[in-house]
Structure 1
Amino acid sequence: MKIIRNGIEIELTDEELRNAYYEQQFLFDREDCRYTLVEILTENQMNALIGDKVDEILDLAADKLRRNIDKYEMDFSYARDEAVRDTLNELNIEIEGDEET
């Protein structure tokens, strides 16, 4: 793949292209996890999280999301929801309304 940056044509190696693909996939996964996080937590819980904590949650959840898909062959929506919930549980962040029976 060739790109032009500052008027200079650069050809990406296969490894650079693959790394760019995985980085972009990770960024998309983080955003998908962000939407799920906002749905799961209350507004007060979201407001209580400090920015770095949100980033930590999203990074961990995005990694879990991809693992759920690749290793456990979950469909995307289920894999995403489980990744976010598992991450919150690991970080001892209570999900209001989730009662263990």
Structure 2
Amino acid sequence: SVELVGVEGTYKTVPQVPGDLRSFLTFQVLYNDVAFPIVYALLRSETQETYSSLLTVIHNILPLRLNRISFVTDYERAFINAIREVFLNSQLVCCWFHYTKKS
């Protein structure tokens, strides 16, 4: 079963058309020690509401064991709050790479 989900966002590789796209998110799961990309999302905003809507769709579609799932992500407050809102019993691990970039 999947127990770890990695989420990464970028602003540099967003398509220019349509012009209102702001970020590109990827979700990867670790299954049998192999990472698989499962979701690609182009977003128009980086608000907690936008992230919660996306996570709700993922929550409803994907068969993740919600009581044992951990998310690894950066330190974006809106996304962290959305994870806590949608995946109530999940663990949240902030990425060391992003931590060192903040310092």
For this structure pair, what is the TM-score category when the shorter chain's length is used for normalisation? 0.3 to 0.5
Structure with greater strand percent: 2
TM-score w.r.t. structure 1 length? 0.32
Structure with greater helix percent: 1
The structure with the largest alpha-carbon Rg is 1
